[in-house]
Amino acid sequence: MPIGFNRRGLLPAKTALFRVDASPGMGMGHFMRCRTLAMELIRRNWVVFFIGSGLPRELLNIKSDRVNGAINLIEFGPHQTSSADVGELFALIANQFRLDVDCLIIDTYFYAREDFVLLQRFYERRSVLVIDDLANRDTPAQVVLNPNPLFSSEPYKRQKIPNILCGEKYTLIRPEIVALRDRPYNSDGIIMVTMGGGDVVKPLMRVLEAIPDNIENRICVSVSANCPRDEIDDWINRDSCRRFLNIDSEKFPKLLASSAFAITGGGTTLWEVYCLGIPSLCMVWVDNQKQTSVVIKEQATSFLIDLAEQINQGLKSDFVESEIRSFKNGFTPAIEARRRQQESFSVSELIRRDKTSLLIDKENVTDAELIGRILQEFRNEPEPWHEMMMKQRALIDGAGASRCADVLDNLTWQDVELLESDWRKSFENWSL
């Protein structure tokens, strides 16, 4: 067993291995939520390793009021197939750790059911946690974590997974954000525009070009360091006194906390906005963010513009003009939304069928009038926005990582039911 230091001296420490990647195309969402959970485990004296490719080394050293430590990095992959990936991962665990790991945490869309089956069959008596936000595949494991708010646990119950951590109680918010949760809100603060990590230039520029020139607040555009920036720089240089760029991930939490309004994608940053309580407009532009629209329509916590599907094309800015003060009315009841979600497991299918999102067609330029009216409204009519902010903070309290770590601290082995076909599956092409 690895040995780690704590305040009482030299003691055995539990070990967690995270299988996670990052890249310009993939973005940083998987990495950041794993980092959040890892930081909480390190605070509890776990020894943590990240295994993957494209991971930012500069974010692996952690120094804060609550955590002081480091995540160990093992470069791994990329592999051409998931079976090659999981085979090499198992070999690494066997050779470098002698299979003596307390928890293997997997956060990737790359693995299929048969890859998790391999781990269950050959990685005996060791716990595997799968971080999943789609529920579009079987994930046989001791623990599944779906950090999306309001997501039903039913898809995982049907798989008979022993430990299910699902919904807003387990949403992973990094401690740098949680530490700023009690700061005073300032309506004169910046307008934050961020679409997440990776190459997000196309959807980002559509938003930036739609922001009216007469907005009083300064505008911060935040992107990852590897995002192409020529078009973004051109937009900022047109009014460099009121517009600025941030590529420093360490500065981002304080910038976000100082925001009067946020325009974000539908990923991890949106839940950080909710934890802080900031008036927001959400741009859903990729399919794996579709669960976000269910939360927004059910809880009325943000305005939603859906760039990924052609839904409710007739709404656009007329919606803001006539309905902005009553946007909380007419949302799908919680029980009905969850029932439909359980029926299909596919949030995007639910949205296509029921037309629950406000749309700006992805083939057209984002409606400047719509964004302009929303940005003006948050200054002119503050009461609805303050109610929105209270709803956000009530939904995401920032304690998700701690609740997850509580489960891992006390986790005991529980067998996972596999199908007969899983036991007949041949892994003869895989070897140590």
Asked if 359 and 418 sit in the same domain, the reply is no
Indicate whether 432 belongs to any domain.
Answer: no
Distance CA 165, CA 410 (A): 14
Asked if 330 and 296 sit in the same domain, the reply is yes
Indicate whether 329 belongs to any domain.
Answer: yes
Looking at residue 295, its pLDDT comes to 61
Asked if 204 and 136 sit in the same domain, the reply is no
Strand runs (DSSP E) across 140-183, as ranges? 143-146, 163-166
Asked if 121 and 108 sit in the same domain, the reply is yes
Looking at residue 337, its pLDDT comes to 44
Residue 91 belongs to domain spanning? 3-173+399-424
User: How far is CA 314 from each of CA 26, 285, 297, 310, 357, rounded to the nearest angstrom?
Assistant: 32, 19, 18, 10, 11
In terms of pTM, does the model score above 0.85?
no
Indicate whether 78 belongs to any domain.
Answer: yes
Asked if 60 and 190 sit in the same domain, the reply is no
Indicate whether 429 belongs to any domain.
Answer: no
Asked if 108 and 249 sit in the same domain, the reply is no
- Closest listed residue to residue 152, CA positions, set 393, 302, 403, 346: 346
What CATH number is given to the structural domain containing 32?
A: 3.40.50.11190
Asked if 161 and 144 sit in the same domain, the reply is yes
Indicate whether 293 belongs to any domain.
Answer: yes
Asked if 166 and 183 sit in the same domain, the reply is no
- Ranges of the chain whose pLDDT falls below 70: 1-12, 25, 63-67, 197-199, 284-368, 428-432
What CATH number is given to the structural domain containing 309?
A: 3.40.50.2000
Asked if 160 and 261 sit in the same domain, the reply is no
Distance CA 235, CA 237 (A): 6
Asked if 203 and 220 sit in the same domain, the reply is yes
Asked if 126 and 159 sit in the same domain, the reply is yes
DSSP state of 27: B
Indicate whether 158 belongs to any domain.
Answer: yes
Contacts of 150 (CB under 8 A, 6+ apart): 167, 168, 294, 295, 298, 299, 334, 337, 338
Indicate whether 8 belongs to any domain.
Answer: yes
Q: With 0-12 CB in 10 A as exposed, 13-18 as middle and 19+ as buried, what is 402?
A: middle
What pLDDT digit, counting tens, does each position of 37-46 carry? 999 999 999 9
Phi, psi of 185 (to 5 degrees): -80, 140
Number of domains in the chain: 2
CA dihedral 270, 274, 278, 280 (to 10 degrees): 40
Looking at residue 306, its pLDDT comes to 55
Sheet containing strand 127-131, strands side by side: 72-75, 47-52, 15-20, 103-107, 127-131, 143-146, 163-166
Distance CA 73, CA 18 (A): 10
Indicate whether 430 belongs to any domain.
Answer: no
Asked if 144 and 216 sit in the same domain, the reply is no
